Amino acid sequence: MLILECPYCGVKAEETELAPGGEAHLKRFGPGSPDEDFEAYMFARKNPKGVHFERWRHAYGCGKWFLAARCTATLEVFGTYPAQTTEPPADIVAKIMAKRPDWKGYK
């Protein structure tokens, strides 16, 4: 039963107020793109056992999508940030590096 702080309204929302939305920072590939790219966008998933970046919507709340950095093995949350970002913010990356020295990084 996760708690994630919505970066838009500041509410420490509990899981039942949120809707999960899968892996974050996927790049959309549209018409004409190579099959592999489209497949990677739609289907291939990192599914890491460890640090993961994912999408959440504060569905029973302000309705905004946001992103979270979370460990899928311990459920520790490293931070949340707005959806309008193309890669994890530096401060969250630094925090993860400090807590998970063997983390291989976002890519």
Partner 1 sequence: MSKVASALGGARYDGFAHVREIGPLGMISLRAKPDVTGLAEAVTAVTGCPLPAQRRVELAGGNVAGWMSPDEYLLIVPYDGVKAALATLAEKLAGQHHLAVDVSDARAVFRIEGDKAAEVLMKLAPVDHATLEPGELRRSRAAQVAAAFWQQDGGYTLVCFRSVAGYVMGLLRHSAQSGAELF
Partner 2 sequence: MKRYSVFAIAREALRYHQGWEKAWASPAPKSSYDVVIVGAGGHGLATAYYLGKNFGITNVAIIEKGWLGGGNTGRNTTIIRSNYLQDPSAAIYEKARSLYEDLSQDLNYNVMFSPRGLLMLAQTHHEVRGYLRTVHANNLQGVTTEWIGPEKVKELVPIMNIDGPRYPVLGALYQARGGTARHDAVAWGYARACSAMGMDIIQQCEVTGVRSANGVVTGVDTTKGYIGTKKLGIVVAGHSGQVADMAGFRLPVESLALQALVSEPIKPCMDVVVMANTVHGYMSQSDKGEMVIGGGTDGFNNFTQRGSFQHIEETLRALIETFPMISRLKMLRQWGGIVDMTGDRSPIISKTPLGNCFINCGWGTGGFKAIPGSGWAMAELVAKGEPGPLAEEFNMYRFREGRFIDESVAAGVAH
Partner 3 sequence: MSTRLAKGGRLIDRAAPQDFTFNGKRLRGFKGDTLAAALLANDQMLVGRSFKYHRPRGIVASGAEEPNALVNMGEGGRFEPNQRTTTTELFDGLTCTSQNHFPSLEFDIGVLNNYAARFLPAGFYYKTFIHPRAAWKHVFEPIIRQSAGLGKVPKDRDADRYEQAYAFCDLLITGGGIAGLQAALTAGKAGKRVWLMEQTAHWGGRAPVDGVEIDGTPAEAWVKNAVQALEAMENVTMRLRCMAAGSYDHGYVLADEKVADHTPGDGRPRHRLWRIRAGQIIAATGAIERPLSFAGNDIPGVMLAAAMRDYLVNWAVAPGDRTVVVTNNDDAYRTAIALKEAGLEVPVILDARATVTGDLPAKARALGIRVEAGKAIAKVKGGKRVTSVAICAQAGQGAVLEEIACDAVAMSGGWSPVVHLWSHCGGKLNWDAAQAHFAPDPARPPLNHDGSALVVTAGAASGVLLAGDVLANATAAAGGDVAPVASGPVEAAMEPVWVMPQGATIDLRMKMWLDYQNDVKVSDVQLAAREGYSSVEHTKRYTTLGMATDQGKLSNINGLAVLADSLSSPIPQVGTTTFRPPYTPVTFGALAGEARGDIFQPLRQTPIHAWHEAHNAYFEPVGLWRRPYCYPRPGETHEQAVHREVVNTRTNVGLLDASTLGKIIVKGPDAGKFLDMLYTNVMSNLGIGKCRYGLMCSEQGFLSDDGVVARIDEDTWLCHTTSGGADRIHAWMEDWLQCEWWDWQVYTANVTEQFAQIAVVGPNARKVLEKLGGMDVSKEALPFMQWADGEMGGFRVRAYRISFSGELSYEIAVPASEGRAFWDALVTAGAEFGMMPYGTEGLHVLRAEKGFIMIGDETDGTVIPQDLNLGWAISKKKADYLGKRGQERPFLASPDRWKLVGLETLDGSVIPDGSIAPAPGTNANGQRNTQGRVTSTYYSPTLKRGIAMGLVKGGLSRVGETIEMTRLDGSTLQVKIVDPVFYDKEGEKQNV
Residue numbers at the binding site for partner 2 (CB under 8 A): 1-2, 15-16, 19-23, 35-36, 38-40, 42-49, 52, 54, 72-75
16 secondary structure, DSSP code? G
Which residue in the set 20, 37, 45, 60 belongs to the binding site for partner 1 (CB under 8 A)?
Answer: 60
Beta strands of the chain (E only): which ranges? 3-5, 12-14, 19-23, 51-57, 65-71, 77-82
For residues 77-87, one letter each, b for 16 or more C-beta atoms within 10 angstroms of the residue's C-beta and e for the rest, the string is: ebbbbebeeee
- The answer to the question of residue 48 lying near partner 3 (CB under 8 A) is no
CB under 5 to 8 A by kind: which of partner 2, partner 1, partner 3, none does 94 bind? none
Q: How far apart are CA 56 and CA 15, in angstroms?
A: 10
- The answer to the question of residue 62 lying near partner 1 (CB under 8 A) is yes
- The answer to the question of residue 64 lying near partner 1 (CB under 8 A) is yes
For partner 1, the binding residues (CB under 8 A) are 8-11, 14, 16-17, 59-64
